[in-house]
Chain A
Amino acid sequence: MSQTPPPEVEVAGLDVVFASGRRSVTAVRDLSFEVARGEAFGIVGESGSGKSTVLKAIAGLVPAPAGAIRIGGRSLGPKRSAADRKLMQFVFQDPYGSLHPRHTVEQTLQEPLAIHRIAKGDSLISQALRDVGLSDALRYRFPHELSGGQRQRVAIARALILSPSLLLLDEPTSALDVSVQAEILNLLARLRRERSLTLLFVSHDLAVVAHLCERIAIMRHGELREVLPVERLRRGETSDAYSRELLRASLGFARAGESLAFSPETR
């Protein structure tokens, strides 16, 4: 009997508390979920839900209690080794802030290669640019010479150049126009297929997450309200009151008494 591989990501009882002086804010409370290898998992929540904090805890950017985070079966603490860093990479929300303003595209892509002492950087960089659909002419440009969509592609190229198996995405398309968002989402779907990536996609936009992900977790005020497969979400089969409210609000504006094309509550 073959053994199923361990889940790529296991979060168990994650608590994240930010303390400054006497005041403390609980950003994430007792969160537990699992993501299988190769799965696209979405986390949706409004502001203050703690969704970005979960992602940062997995990445090691904010401290998490020991044993709360396991990647590929291994428990990971805040101190990450070089090998740990190669396993997972992060795409940030703001395409204007996630690239160093004084580094050319080439330098931005070279940096992870230099840190991990990977040779033949030039060909890897050319390949990375091709993978994200950027022309080689942009190689020596600075971020301020690129559009938002192009910057985000560079950020994705940078994330993938070390060939991680897990990609963490924190609202990667929220700052982009709808048409540019469509291109980036298509790009992510293709890259995921080609490289068999596991995706952890955080967003406040339910429609975007439902497009890309297979299972969706809904968070509110630091707590996990529900995890459900996307088909059930689309049919409105939510079991949590807040999830229902979020779904209804995401469908658009409805005046009192008016019903939308599909009403989740008729189930």
Chain B
Amino acid sequence: MSEAPLLEVEGLDVLYRGRGGEHRAVRDVSFTLGRERLGIVGESGSGKSTTGRALLGLIPPPAIVTARQLKFQGQDLTQLSPRAWQALRGRRMSMVMQDPRYSLNPVLTIGRQIMETYRLHHRAGAAEAKRRALEMLEAVRIRDPETVFAQYPHQLSGGMGQRAMIAMMLVGEPDLLVADEPTSALDVTVQNDVLRILDDLVTRRGMGLIFISHNLTVVSSFCDRVLVMYGGRVVEQCDAKALHEARHPYTRALIAAAPDLQRPRAELAVVHRDPAWLA
């Protein structure tokens, strides 16, 4: 049974114009997303974060975002008004960011923030919103939801904060979640806990997930498919399990450049940047 894709992107471009000239942060990016996990991997300057933000309409002017096609559940996103974006964001598409210290409002309690997000998109009284918020906190496996509900972001550890952020972003029950380096600021033992929660929620709710990261190990083990970006372009698209058979020289170089616990090497491969990749 094939289903209509959740997201259809074709020819996405993001252009920044500054005093130093023009800069194409994202060039001609195309992909489709179903109810699956898609990883976008790249180094700094590859355009991966910009792509994620462009999908949610979070690139402010004077940057120019254009695409031949940008459709979410069949709805055209390219000409959307701010009000239409507001209706979409938080409700049908959502974003989790890297560091909860900077992405959660420091002066509101966790509970308030989750309730606010919920009430923005659903007609619900305070009691109902509180119930939903507590439900979400339980869903992200926070053992003591009542306590965390009343706490402020600075009182939470990295892992807890990130779970709270996930709870807040999923309370509206979106169909698409864009996660931009959601585990990069966390300790490695905590990372896997958070990934397991994301995995569970995404599977159970049948959501589409775009997982943006610089960490190839995590992306290749967590996602179903992988996009590799370099200089604003997608240089490789393949199944996560087939990554070691990647064809583009940049992907192969990136895999070879990362130290591997199971394959000791005397010297790590160095990426020789071919200017042709930027063409």
Chain A directly contacts chain B within the complex, with at least one CB pair under 8 Å? yes
Stretch from A14-22, A153-161, A181-189 contacting the other chain:
A181-189
Nearest chain B CB to A45 CB, angstrom units: 9
Q: A249-B191, A253-B192 are in contact. Are A182 and B268 (CB under 8 A)?
A: yes
Q: Mark B230-263, 1 if CB is under 8 A from A, else 0.
A: 0000000000000000000000011001111110
Cβ–Cβ < 8 Å partners of B267 in chain A? 186, 189
Measured between alpha carbons, how far is A204 from B189 in the docked complex, in Å? 11
Does residue B222 face the partner (Cβ distance < 8 Å to A)? Answer: yes
Measured between alpha carbons, how far is A181 from B215 in the docked complex, in Å? 13
Contact assessment for A177 and B189 in the assembled complex, using a CB-CB cutoff below 8 Å = no
Stretch from A59-67, A104-112, A134-142, A207-215 contacting the other chain:
A207-215
Measured between alpha carbons, how far is A210 from B184 in the docked complex, in Å? 20
Contact assessment for B257 and A179 in the assembled complex, using a CB-CB cutoff below 8 Å = yes
Contact assessment for A178 and B214 in the assembled complex, using a CB-CB cutoff below 8 Å = yes
Measured between alpha carbons, how far is A234 from B262 in the docked complex, in Å? 6
Of all chain A residues, the one with the shortest Cβ separation from B185 is A47
Number of interface residues of B (CB under 8 A): 35
Contact of B261 (CB < 8 Å), options: A46, A186, A207 = A207
Contact assessment for B261 and A255 in the assembled complex, using a CB-CB cutoff below 8 Å = no
Contact assessment for A250 and B261 in the assembled complex, using a CB-CB cutoff below 8 Å = yes
Does residue A254 face the partner (Cβ distance < 8 Å to B)? Answer: yes
Cβ–Cβ < 8 Å partners of A234 in chain B? 261-262, 264
Cβ–Cβ < 8 Å partners of A211 in chain B? 259, 264-265, 268
Contact assessment for A252 and B262 in the assembled complex, using a CB-CB cutoff below 8 Å = no
Does residue B158 face the partner (Cβ distance < 8 Å to A)? Answer: yes
Contact of B43 (CB < 8 Å), options: A179, A183, A204, A262 = A179
Measured between alpha carbons, how far is A252 from B189 in the docked complex, in Å? 10
Contact assessment for A178 and B258 in the assembled complex, using a CB-CB cutoff below 8 Å = yes
Measured between alpha carbons, how far is A36 from B144 in the docked complex, in Å? 48
Contact assessment for A210 and B218 in the assembled complex, using a CB-CB cutoff below 8 Å = no
Contact of B270 (CB < 8 Å), options: A182, A205, A210, A233 = A182
Of all chain B residues, the one with the shortest Cβ separation from A208 is B259
Contact assessment for A178 and B43 in the assembled complex, using a CB-CB cutoff below 8 Å = yes
Contact assessment for B270 and A207 in the assembled complex, using a CB-CB cutoff below 8 Å = no
Contact assessment for B189 and A249 in the assembled complex, using a CB-CB cutoff below 8 Å = yes
Does residue B127 face the partner (Cβ distance < 8 Å to A)? Answer: no
Of all chain B residues, the one with the shortest Cβ separation from A246 is B189
Measured between alpha carbons, how far is A246 from B188 in the docked complex, in Å? 7
Contact assessment for A186 and B191 in the assembled complex, using a CB-CB cutoff below 8 Å = no
Measured between alpha carbons, how far is A112 from B126 in the docked complex, in Å? 63
Contact assessment for A177 and B261 in the assembled complex, using a CB-CB cutoff below 8 Å = no
Say which size band chain A's interface belongs to. 35 or more
Does residue B64 face the partner (Cβ distance < 8 Å to A)? Answer: no
Does residue B87 face the partner (Cβ distance < 8 Å to A)? Answer: no
Does residue A261 face the partner (Cβ distance < 8 Å to B)? Answer: yes
Contact assessment for B264 and A210 in the assembled complex, using a CB-CB cutoff below 8 Å = yes
Of all chain B residues, the one with the shortest Cβ separation from A245 is B189
Cβ–Cβ < 8 Å partners of B214 in chain A? 177-178
Contact assessment for A204 and B260 in the assembled complex, using a CB-CB cutoff below 8 Å = no
Measured between alpha carbons, how far is A131 from B254 in the docked complex, in Å? 25
Of all chain B residues, the one with the shortest Cβ separation from A48 is B187
Measured between alpha carbons, how far is A255 from B261 in the docked complex, in Å? 20
Most buried by B among A205, A206, A208, A252: A252
Q: A46-B188, A207-B258 are in contact. Are A252 and B269 (CB under 8 A)?
A: no
Contact assessment for A186 and B221 in the assembled complex, using a CB-CB cutoff below 8 Å = no
Cβ–Cβ < 8 Å partners of B196 in chain A? 253, 255-256
Q: A178-B214, A179-B271, A252-B220 are in contact. Are A207 and B44 (CB under 8 A)?
A: no
Contact assessment for A261 and B221 in the assembled complex, using a CB-CB cutoff below 8 Å = no
Does residue A114 face the partner (Cβ distance < 8 Å to B)? Answer: no
Contact assessment for A178 and B254 in the assembled complex, using a CB-CB cutoff below 8 Å = yes
Contact assessment for A253 and B218 in the assembled complex, using a CB-CB cutoff below 8 Å = yes
Of all chain B residues, the one with the shortest Cβ separation from A47 is B187
Q: Which residues of A does B touch, CB under 8 Å?
A: 46-47, 177-179, 181-183, 185-186, 189, 204-208, 210-211, 230, 233-234, 245-247, 249-256, 260-262
What are 22 A-B residue pairs whose CB atoms fall within 8 Å in the complex?
A: A177-B214, A179-B254, A181-B257, A182-B257, A182-B269, A186-B270, A205-B259, A207-B261, A210-B264, A211-B265, A234-B261, A249-B189, A250-B188, A251-B261, A252-B218, A253-B192, A253-B195, A253-B222, A255-B199, A256-B196, A261-B262, A262-B262
7 further interface pairs, Cβ-Cβ under 8 Å (given A177-B44, A178-B216, A245-B189): A205-B259, A206-B188, A210-B264, A211-B264, A253-B199, A253-B218, A253-B222
Closest 6 CB pairs of A and B: A252-B221, A211-B259, A46-B187, A182-B257, A182-B268, A179-B271
